[in-house]
Amino acid sequence: MVAFLRRSLLRPLLALGLCFCLGLSGCSQAPGGLSGNYVDDTVSVAQTLLTTIALPQDDPARQEAEVQARQLINGYTALYRPRQDIHGLASFTTMQTAVNALAAHYAGYANRPLPDPLRSRLEKELKKAEATAVRGA
């Protein structure tokens, strides 16, 4: 009788508890080490990306910085793209344009340096997104 109760009740309860714990742990933190505050995250991501694209091609830290930048771009996009309250902001649109262009370059031309026209466009867009986010638009 005890073995029957153990099999019929304990296993489903254990499975339910495990699913509950995994579900809560997945919701506990913003992706990519982001804070969840849109303005702070936009400024932080913009500054990190500006620093990354400013690194010279022969810098030994460049490859690791690009890997970190890709992770940051993915985390930022995953956190803020679904949010309707942020989706219409000018700063978000400008930031999305910049991170999409940089992510496309990293995906398609990972071993090539950033072209100068793209670098200057990204610098302009990232600075504009940062200033617009701080201003509240």
pLDDT tens track, the chain, 137 positions: 556 555 665 555 545 555 554 554 455 455 567 899 999 999 999 999 999 999 998 889 999 999 999 999 999 999 999 999 998 899 999 999 999 999 999 999 988 899 999 999 999 999 999 999 999 87
- Between the alpha carbon of residue 131 and those of residues 33, 83, 123, the distances in Å are 22, 20, 12
> What residue ranges do the domains of the chain occupy?
37-135
pTM of the predicted structure, to 2 decimals:
0.76
Superfamily of domain 37-135: Photosystem II Pbs27 (1.20.58.810)
Residue 45 in contact with residue 80, Cβ under 8 Å?
no
